[in-house]
Structure 1
């Protein structure tokens, strides 16, 4: 190449960085064309590794006759299993240069004979912190490229990698923004619907109570049973709607606690007795009395949610154990309530998102807001709600609260 190559090459690098961070393929096509014009090459490829097919794929290619021929022959995809110089450069992260490709026994026949490549430069392509592909430059003439060209291609590969990384980041941010916008709209819609549904609950509850009293008065056991079942379903619906409204209050900063002295022993013992069934006994162990200042309704809401979760995932006949104990910490006294089941455990990959809004655990059919609210209520008290779960020991939720004396 000529001795005054620095200025045009510098301008080409500046053009590369000025490429818009839009879609990856058009951006890399433009980069390939810029490099092709600068080096007077017959073909430039930006190969990226595709995990699904275990292949190097020419995501960006120059708009040249040899590049068009390459695509028509299917040589724009190179499975790692087939070998070839591009694959070798990717796997070893070692650059390659030749002026007599037709004599290279390690090159693919299609590259040498059908494309007619005679000179090649290939360098690893770094994107982010790892090698993700290969930048390859080809010519139909022998001994066409120089050592200067190889050094320049090294620099270009880093710049192309930065451009590709920027495009990928912009695409990820765009996807995230769209996802968040959809989620925000869904959350607002759910809150509005919850408000509207709440307005119909009291009249419905009153009518069911009238039916229950009439069934009792007229000694109609079947009607009484059905009315009692309807009342239970209505209570479940009321809890769900209240949870949805609480989510809205948290978002609007309107969530508040009504703290008062509460005997946690009595609260937890009552909850255990209410939740216990013949199939899943709920066993309680704790001191005779443990008093702190908290919102009893909110603490009960947390524990009801956690206990219901434990009952849902317990094998038939296995108990759920609740332990209440005082703890001495450097910052002062705390109380800890643990709820243990003997189920199959929560998969490790799901534990990190278990307390996120609308996140559902294995086998769950709910909206996925119960545990989110439970943790937020614990945090509103200055406490924590944590989980430990393995396939061998089951799942343990632990509610820890600072002891406040009124």
Structure 2
């Protein structure tokens, strides 16, 4: 997750700069001595390391000219590119046909590499190397294979940026980010259910055997996995919105009770969540979707509130042009939204400051509000916190549409 978030944040103004930064991220994630992102140069028939981690081994590779490898010279990098097959070894010095400079000059012993697919075409190789024998595991190779999809999307994005106009730059970055998100959501969803089942089994065993410390640790682990499940749901909902498959099922519900539930669930010892307003406020809305929107708003407020302060969920209603509307104000006491972000605060993948996340919560909350025939707005005077107002028609969405 940390690697994905940082990949999405990489600037795409320059292909080489983007790939160098991506190599640095992967070197840190794998603990390797070097990571290379090779792209094929058709005119010279060479594989060029446009992205190389800035490590001693990476700098030595450049000084020896091994960052450019003719495909005709063979070696594991060329083999992965020409065949598309992944490569893994813990003893590169025993691999027949390996490039001599890689083994003797660089001293590489462990090597994993996968083909790099860019916009549906095999365009290069993603490679990680270490001078330690048997350094990489099968899990490392699977990780590299998964991350290669994201590097391919990053490469595609950077190449688009170099070719298109400034107006198309924003659209190119968004498309690349969506490719990364789609891969992540589908990959993680496949592993989440077995992980939850195993945690529940361990939790029951710890309770039976009277191990309270393990029970507490497993509760925390389950909470983390549940948060990951919420993130996956958000990621998949972005896709459903784009495909017009985002469903809402309006029914009578108490907005005040929902606010109390969210306040109890998300409040922390350092940041309390308080609810103000009438004890009951009934609207026609999709409770699950509304809870999703409110949790995103409150979580965002908590992240930006200093310890010892509090977040307020304030409920009210008013009559506008003959229609009754319910308002849910989420108020924090943080530093406020940076003025330069205000025009884009409800766009996808917009984050600011040191806040974690990939910028989907506010986007989804605004689209959920729109699906209900309402709106989401923000008021944030500089340095005085932020108030996000979710407005909903009490009578429900116009004609109660089932899809938005």
TM-score band w.r.t. shorter chain: 0.5 to 0.7
Map of 2:240 onto structure 1: 249
Map Cα deviations across residues 114-141 of structure 1 (whole Å, 9 max, x no partner). Answer: xxxxxxxxxxxxxxxxxxxxxxxxxxxx
- The CA distance in 2 between the partners of 1:184 and 1:320, in whole Å, is 34
Q: 1:179 to 1:272 in 2, by over 3 A?
A: closer
Matching residue of 1:89 = none
What is the CA-CA distance between 1:362 and the residue it aligns to?
2.2
CA distance in 1, matches of 2:173, 2:330: 35
Residue of structure 2 in register with 1:301 after alignment: 292
- The residue aligned with 2:252 is 261
Residue 282 (structure 1) aligns with: 273
Distance 1:182 1:342, change over 3 A: closer
User: How far apart in 1 are the matches of 2:170 and 2:339?
Assistant: 24
Q: Which residue among 373, 379, 382 is the counterpart of 1:388?
A: 379
SS of the counterpart of 1:359? Answer: coil
Deviations 1:217-248 (A, max 9, x none): 10112211221111011011111111000001
In 2, the alpha carbon distance for the partners of 1:284 and 1:381 equals: 22
Matched, 1:364 2:355: yes
CA contact (8 A) 1:324 1:336 kept: yes
- Cα shift at 1:294: 0.6
* Structure 1 unpaired stretches of 5+: 1-170
Matches of 1:352 and 1:248, distance apart in 2: 23
Residue 192, structure 1, aligned to residue 183, structure 2: yes
Other structure's SS at 1:222 match: helix
CA–CA distance in structure 1, aligned partners of residues 261 and 173 of structure 2: 41
State how far apart, in whole Å, the 2-side matches of 1:231 and 1:321 are: 27
C-alpha change, 1:347 and 1:186, in structure 2 (3 Å) is closer
Using the alignment, how far apart are the partners of 1:391 and 1:234 within structure 2? 36
Does the 8 Å CA contact 1:320/1:339 hold for their aligned counterparts?
yes
Kindly indicate whether residue 202 of structure 2 is the aligned counterpart of residue 223 of structure 1.
no
Q: 2:370 aligns with which of 374, 379, 397?
A: 379
**Equivalent in 335, 339, 359 of residue 330 of structure 2:** 339
Structure 1 residue 399: Cα displacement:
0.4
CA shift for structure 1 position 331? 4.0
Partner of 1:79: none
Deviation at 1:391, TM superposition (A): 3.0
Equivalences for residues 79-98 of structure 1 within 5 A: none
Q: Given the alignment of the two structures, is residue 317 of structure 1 paired with residue 308 of structure 2, yes or no?
A: yes
Kindly provide the CA deviation profile for residues 187-219 of structure 1, in whole angstroms up to 9, marking residues without a partner as x. 134213312311211111111011111111101
Asked if the contact 1:279/1:316 (under 8 Å) is kept, the reply is yes
Q: Among 328, 353, 359, which residue is 2:319 paired with?
A: 328
1:397 pairs, out of 383, 388, 404, with 388
CA-CA distance at 1:180 after TM superposition:
2.4
Q: CA deviation at 1:177?
A: 3.1
Query: What's 1:355 paired with?
Result: 346
Question: By how many angstroms is 1:327 displaced?
Answer: 1.1
Question: How many Å apart are 1:393 and its aligned residue?
Answer: 2.6
Shift of 1:340: 0.8
**8 A Cα contact 2:339 2:382, kept in partner:** no
In 2 relative to 1, CA 349–175 (structure 1 residues): closer, same or farther, beyond 3 Å? closer
Matches within 5 A, 1:43-122: none
Which residue pairs with 1:115 in the alignment?
Answer: none
Deviation of 1:172 (Å): 9.8
The answer as to whether partners of 1:339 and 1:397 remain within 8 angstroms in 2 is: yes
Give the direction of change, closer, same or farther, for the CA distance of 1:278–1:356 in structure 2 (3 Å limit). same
Compute the displacement of 1:342 (Å): 1.2
1:240 aligns with 2:210: no
Distance 1:256 1:243 in 2: 14
State the match for 1:208 in structure 2: 199
Distance in 1 between residues matched to 2:253 and 2:240, nearest whole Å: 24
How many aligned positions are there? 236
Q: Which has the larger radius of gyration?
A: 1
TM-score, scaled relative to structure 1: 0.55
User: What is the SS of the residue equivalent to 2:280?
Assistant: coil
Cα distance in 2 for residues equivalent to 1:325 and 1:392:
25
Q: Distance in 2 between matches of 1:200 and 1:366?
A: 21
Q: What are structure 2's unaligned runs of at least 5 residues?
A: 1-161
CA–CA distance in structure 1, aligned partners of residues 341 and 166 of structure 2: 22
